[in-house]
Structure 1
Amino acid sequence: DIIVVMGYGLLLPKFILQLPRFGCINIHVSLLPRWRGAAPIEHAILNGDKITGLTIFKLIEKLDAGPIIARDSIAIDPHIDKNDLTTLLNSKGTKLLISTLPDLFNKNVEFEIQKEDMATHASKITTEMRKLDFNQDALTVYNRIRAFAPQPSAWFVFNKERIKIIKAKLREGACEPSTIVNDQFHIGCNNGIICPTIVQREGKKPMKIDEFLRGFDFAVGQKINA
């Protein structure tokens, strides 16, 4: 009677779209037409969005562009990471689907055509997109850490070693960007400071910052990504 899709990265061929009596529908983890594509949660956090949500829509032969059946929005906590936001959206998506299906089966749905001029694209995440640039605004860096946590994680290079930051805190302060500012391995940015709390060295497991500091050689004032 119906095909329900979620997190499927390919377009369904036309003959499949035409098979079920009530069509094929998708549960997408953004408020379409914003963040069509493969990584809507990551892009919402990267962009500093205040609100996101879920959209149930009818699949057509264009990516994430079909008519909207139902939506549900939520506020994005400014400290939530990708993993926790994904869990929250998946839970709400299940509830939204259960409440929407009866109306769909009873043909009690008003389809809303998406506005193409409002569409944005959430491209696939690349390794370079996860690289941290501490010359940027501190909030931008903090959002990048949250967007890829806990995996695959944002990263930077120090003394030719790639280090991931899995969790961090954001602190106010004026200091030299892309520089280690104290013996706690806090890193200066433009308009603020990033304070790593969980990191991961190459070939090692994630560790709390206290454990990292016991076995890592650095000096206050050294540059990051140099």
Structure 2
Amino acid sequence: MKLVFAGTPDFAADALKALLTAGHDIALVLTQPDRPAGRGMKLTPSPVKQVALEHGLPVYQPEKLRTPEQQAPLAEIDCDVMIVAAYGLILPQVVLDLPSLGCLNIHASLLPRWRGAAPIQRAILAGDAQTGITIMQMDAGLDTGDMLSVHVTPISASDNAHTLHDKLAQQGANAIVAALADLPALQAARQAQPVDGVTYAEKLKKEESQIDWQRPAVELDRMIRAFNPFPSAQTTLDGAALKIWAAHSVDGHGEPGTLLALDRHGIVVACGQGALMLTTLQMAGGKRLDATAFLAGRSLMAGIRLGD
């Protein structure tokens, strides 16, 4: 099957690798333009571009796809299907109509729940018990197209955005290969998304990353996991920024933000309801450390408040 592939981050790169392994003909790869990254802010190709170049695939990196000139490289290809995974650009109807069998999207949620940019993080934040992959026949709406297949995965109490991302990336890669192998039947049986249960997964904002110790510990536990690795949950210690990378809720009560206990197992902090045991932390400019290493050489004691 002759394909065009559109994607940008690691999530999409896994799908591109799977399609290549399955023997599909990738006629063109679309991905976001190279962006500054790292300490030196050097222009860096996306993970999808890196995979494409490793396999000698042609790459197209338009800023937009609004004009006939921008759409021309796609219009020149007589492809069967376009596969889209976390591409980052909205595809106009004229582009959606180019492939003979349309455009398929690999979406990291159980649609119609968590349409939008950050479905993995929002599912963890909301305390969802499960999420998954939906293979969707794209239309011009925001993740509103008909569903071809749905693949469920549980969200464990230890999952953070990184671990859940990796599970869903592999699930999505497997799901799109399976969908292409049975595409006529899936398209014939495709189902519209339910009207009920629609939620939107807005892009994460850095201002969301500040920990409010007045909130219940179970909510902060989910927040810390959802914001790992980006943008990371943060508070302050003695006026300096402190990132919290891992924690879990425990019994305890006290003035929110107050340190209740400190030992090799973690640092227990009172919350609005219950307490949170911090197990992996990082001071501004420092390394990420487990609780034992973090406490070594620091004169912390119960009664100190975080976030002041």
Q: Which TM-score band applies after superposition, normalised by the shorter structure?
A: over 0.9
Give how far 1:218 is off.
Answer: 3.3
The count of corresponding residues between Structure 1 and Structure 2 is 226
* 1:44 is the counterpart of 2:123: yes
Higher mean displacement: 118-127 or 170-179: 170-179
Unaligned runs of 5+ in 1: none
2:276 aligned partner: 194
- State the distance in 2 between where 1:21 and 1:106 align: 16
* 1:208 is the counterpart of 2:290: yes
Higher mean displacement: 144-153 or 11-20: 144-153
Q: 1:103 to 1:157 in 2, by over 3 A?
A: same
- State the distance in 2 between where 1:123 and 1:107 align: 29
Indicate which of 220, 227, 232 corresponds to 1:148: 227
The alignment's TM-score, normalised by the length of structure 1, stands at: 0.93
Conservation of the 8 A alpha-carbon contact between 2:209 and 2:232: yes
Conservation of the 8 A alpha-carbon contact between 1:180 and 1:187: yes
The residue correspondences of 1:85-164 to structure 2 (distance < 5 A) are 85-105=164-184, 109-164=188-243
The alignment's TM-score, normalised by the length of structure 2, stands at: 0.69
Deviation string, structure 1 residues 170-206 (Cα, Å, up to 9, x no partner): 2122333221112343211133221111111111221
The residue correspondences of 1:161-200 to structure 2 (distance < 5 A) are 161-184=240-263, 185-200=267-282
Deviation string, structure 1 residues 131-189 (Cα, Å, up to 9, x no partner): 21121111000000111123431111222211111112321223332211123432111
Root-mean-square deviation (Å): 1.6
Deviation string, structure 1 residues 69-120 (Cα, Å, up to 9, x no partner): 1101111112211111111111111111122112214565312112344210
Rg (Cα) greater in structure: 2
- State the distance in 1 between where 2:297 and 2:272 align: 28
Q: 1:88 to 1:182 in 2, by over 3 A?
A: same
> Which structure is higher in RCO with an 8 Å CA cutoff and minimum separation 6?
1
1:55 aligned partner: 134
State the identity as a percent: 35
